[in-house]
Homo-oligomer: A and B are copies of this chain.
């Protein structure tokens, strides 16, 4: 069973809902691209009778980003001439069962034009009945592996990731273990989606990624993971936590690359790639990268995972240490601009 790594719930200073502005900004910028993806590709859809269009946000976390995205997709579909009159929309908000669905449901827009349902469970398995979904959306979720690769947890194995928490800067074996886990996950992911998505249905997948030949050490988010590992090692050296705890902790996060993901889609064989664009995220930053912002953002996503392994007491100290280390990230800006670090992927079910 896939493990779950929920975002911070609630309303606090480090909650996901108060720290998902990166995703929100990006969603705004990407809106036009998503609209186009829908308009250009959802054109020969076989709308079932009775005419209900099913939409799913995989890894939706809590609102409001998911609400904006789903409402927008529906409005775009409504402008197309493909849907029978009186078509109804049903939106499935999916995330792990440990996601704060209570909050998601409490904040659902009262004036929504769709029937809402929450679907608990990992997208690394089937979630919906056969051919029931017409539009799949997933934003900043597919970088999560279903689990930490097994080999990384075996002390003494070549992939034992000593002193690090990610494959960035790590041995070849560690990178290989991440790559292999991602390959397994994507095989399952595309197989499940192929069953669920109707013929002509469209998937828009947005995820952190990297250009094919760019090393992890030039990818800003991966450098942050490395600095996180270094911060933890500093704390181990001080005796706050044990070195063994750091060695056995690994982030189940993996930014893919165009050639890699293309291969998985091709192997699956059920989807056509309509668009694959590796975007620069320059527009997300004004001026130099603000370390504090990036760290706060990272904290909203990773605090739960880290607390579970190390205990909650270390969190404040850890993240202020990481903030210090992240003060000057300007050297990363160039590589981020050159290679692009956000993948925009439009797939169509054959």
Residues of A within 8 A of B (CB): 1, 48, 50-52, 86, 88-90, 92, 97-98, 100-102, 105-106, 108, 110, 115-121, 126-132
Are B97 and A132 in contact, CB atoms less than 8 angstroms apart?
Answer: no
Q: Assuming A50-B129, A97-B108, A132-B52, is B115 touching A117 (CB within 8 A)?
A: no
In the assembled complex, 21 residue pairs joining A and B whose CB atoms fall closer than 8 Å, in A order, are: A1-B110, A50-B129, A50-B130, A51-B130, A52-B130, A88-B129, A90-B129, A90-B132, A97-B106, A97-B108, A98-B106, A100-B102, A101-B101, A101-B118, A115-B119, A115-B126, A115-B127, A115-B128, A115-B129, A116-B119, A116-B121
Interface of A is mostly: loop
Question: Which chain B residues lie closer than 8 Å to A131 at the CB level?
Answer: 50
A102 to B131, CA, bound (A): 27
Q: How near does chain B come to A31, taking the closest CB pair, in angstroms?
A: 26
**Bound form: Cα–Cα A150–B84 in Å:** 40
Contact, CB under 8 Å: B118 / A120: yes
* Chain B residue at smallest Cβ distance from A52: B129
Q: Which among A48, A92, A98, A130 has the highest number of chain B CB atoms within 10 Å? A: A130
Q: From A107, which residue of chain B is reached at the shortest CB distance?
A: B97
